[in-house]
Structure 1
Amino acid sequence: MSFLFTGIDHVQLAAPEDCEQAARSFYADLLGWKEITKPDNLIKRGGAWFQCGTHQVHIGVQNDFIPAKKAHPAFQVQNLNALREYLHHKGVQVIDDHARSEEGVQRFYLNDPFGNRLEFLEWL
């Protein structure tokens, strides 16, 4: 083959109209991700973009929005227990999942403000 996949550039999650402030409160203020300025020609579409490590998470406005309950991104974290404690202190409900613990994976899920499922994991 003459091409090579080098990784994921970004993940897009859908959200309802007028989601920007809730997205900023959750992704930037709570999780601490830096907001990225969207290109001028995409600003009119709404939503917001954030930097998560070396990847980007784009929150895009979707008409007739329905949250993703099964399909989800998984974010790799160093010191997952500290993140869990931080979120608990902030009143965010996390759902522990031990299905991959035999592989050395610790993980939990939570829902963003729009009901999208997000996974956070650490390889031990």
Structure 2
Amino acid sequence: MTFGLHHVQLAIEPGSEDRCREFYVGVLGLTEVPKPPELAARGGLWVRAGGLELHLGVEADFRPARKAHGSSV
């Protein structure tokens, strides 16, 4: 069995697209992916690293996750 991921959806606060773009594209070096026009109207942005995309979607009542974390190997 082979398993793969296409994308992960992360919530961002309204109006934070430029700040997120600076971090994910400017600092981490990910590539911004154009969103389809019908989804672009909702705000947010999509970025790609290799074969994995991060979809950063605007959430009107955004609250940061209290236990969010990551790790590296």
Determine what percentage of the aligned residue pairs are the same residue: 41
Root mean square deviation, CA, Å: 1.6
Amino acid at match of 1:28: V
Once the two structures are superposed, residues 32-74 of structure 1 have per-residue CA deviations (whole angstroms, 9 ceiling, x without a partner) of 0000000111001100000022100010000110112324xxx
TM-score by length of 1: 0.54
Aligned length: 73
Larger Rg: 1
TM-score by length of 2: 0.88
CA distance in 1, matches of 2:54, 2:66: 17
Once the two structures are superposed, residues 82-122 of structure 1 have per-residue CA deviations (whole angstroms, 9 ceiling, x without a partner) of xxxxxxxxxxxxxxxxxxxxxxxxxxxxxxxxxxx4x2412
CA distance in 2, matches of 1:49, 1:120: 22
The structure in which a higher percent of residues are strand is: 1
Larger RCO, structure (CA 8 Å, separation 6 or more): 2
Structure 1: runs of 5 or more not aligned:
72-116
> Aligned with 1:51: secondary structure?
strand
